[in-house]
Amino acid sequence: MPSTPRWVEAINKALSNPSNKGKNIYQVATVDARNAPHVRSQVHRAFTHPDGRPDLPLLLTSTDARTPKVLQLLANPAVELAWWMEGTQDQFRLSGFAHIVPASPAEPDTSFRFAPIPADALALRTLEAQAFDWEAKRLELFQQMSPGMRASWCVPGAPGSAIGSYEEQKEWPSQVPQEPQTEEDKKNAEMASKNFALMLIEPVSVDWVELGVKPNRRTIFTRREDGGWTEQLAIP
Ligand SMILES: Cc1cc2nc3c(=O)[nH]c(=O)nc-3n(C[C@H](O)[C@H](O)[C@H](O)COP(=O)(O)O)c2cc1C
């Protein structure tokens, strides 16, 4: 019977500790087509897993489909993320694959085209085999986003592209209501939704360092081919 790996329970336990309130941000590293590294902060939204396979967890985060990371992931789906829970003094480092799910059909002006799922991305492939409704999940998460967050997907170009002055920002929407009423809000909501993409991260190895216990502990979890996880104690 497949079961949830212990590292997911450890993350959830750390997250639910009041001393880690708000520690839902991790730093995600990618490499681009020239093998240059890039790293940025992202918000952890949830864990998910294929039906009946809690042993194949994925982390759910989101992005603007026009951001550079999306092109980097097209060139190389490998990612590593580092998550520091300061309250309990836990560091989790997760490495594996990331998969971007843009609006369906993808907007021609976003950089994204559906990337093939890597052969050894067992969780993503299992979701695909189960005919997982990626678009429904994308819209479900979009629906939960605040008006301010929605406005961030209405910026007129790819995040990171140059602007002449901060004055330009005054023209951009600052709020896109969840239930748009005016024509303007409806147009903005449509644009925000089209630029909003899911980012699913499938870990295949997890390195957990516990600095909150003395002596410190370190455990390395590695996924086996059948989806189970091995645990190796290591020197911190
Ligand atoms: C606290 C914090 C949380 C963030 N969360 C996200 C996020 O969930 N998704 C995202 O795409 N960018 C997020 N960003 C912005 C990214 O760090 C980054 O600036 C942006 O996505 C562009 O990244 P890229 O150029 O590497 O694609 C966040 C930034 C901060 C400071």
- Block means of pLDDT (10 residues each) for the chain, 236 residues, are 95 98 97 96 97 97 95 94 98 97 70 74 95 93 94 93 93 90 92 95 98 98 94 98
pLDDT at res. 19: 98
Mutate to test the pocket of ligand 1, among 30, 32, 40, 83 (most ligand atoms within 8 A of CB): 40
Chain centroid offset of residue 41 CA: 10
Token couple for 144? 């939960």
pLDDT at res. 38: 98
C-alpha–C-alpha distance, residues 195 and 190, integer Å: 9
Q: Which atom of ligand 1 is nearest to the CA of 30?
A: 26
Return the bridge partners of 203, or none.
Answer: 96
pLDDT at res. 226: 87
Q: Is 25 in the pocket of ligand 1 (CB under 6 A)?
A: yes
C-alpha–C-alpha distance, residues 206 and 49, integer Å: 16
Q: What is the pLDDT of residues 25-71, one digit of tens each?
A: 999 999 999 999 999 999 999 999 999 999 999 999 999 999 999 99
pLDDT at res. 178: 87
Q: Is 152 in the pocket of ligand 1 (CB under 6 A)?
A: no
pLDDT at res. 90: 98
Q: Is 61 in the pocket of ligand 1 (CB under 6 A)?
A: yes
Reduced to 3 states (helix: H, G, I; strand: E, B; else coil), residue 204 is strand
pLDDT at res. 110: 53
pLDDT at res. 52: 97
Please say whether the beta carbons of 67 and 160 come within 8 A. yes
Phi, psi angle pair for 127, to nearest 5°? -60, -45
Q: Which atom of ligand 1 is nearest to the CA of 68?
A: 27
* Å from CA of 53 to ligand 1 middle: 29
CATH topology of domain 6-233: Pnp Oxidase; Chain A (2.30.110)
Please say whether the beta carbons of 64 and 97 come within 8 A. no
* Å from CA of 213 to ligand 1 middle: 32
Among protein residues, the one whose CA lies closest to atom 10 of ligand 1? 63
* Å from CA of 40 to ligand 1 middle: 6
Q: Is 68 in the pocket of ligand 1 (CB under 6 A)?
A: yes
* Å from CA of 56 to ligand 1 middle: 25
What residue has token string 């994204």? Answer: 112
pLDDT at res. 114: 65
Q: Is 44 in the pocket of ligand 1 (CB under 6 A)?
A: no
Domain boundaries, the chain: 6-233
Please say whether the beta carbons of 226 and 204 come within 8 A. no
Exposed, middle or buried: residue 232 (CB in 10 Å: 0-12, 13-18, 19+)?
exposed
C-alpha–C-alpha distance, residues 183 and 136, integer Å: 24
What lies within 8 Å, CB to CB, of 61 at 6+ separation is: 28, 42, 43, 44, 45, 198, 199, 201
C-alpha–C-alpha distance, residues 205 and 80, integer Å: 9
Q: Which atom of ligand 1 is nearest to the CA of 63?
A: 11
Report which residue type is found at 1: M
DSSP, residue by residue, 64-83: ETTSHHHHHHHH--EEEEEE
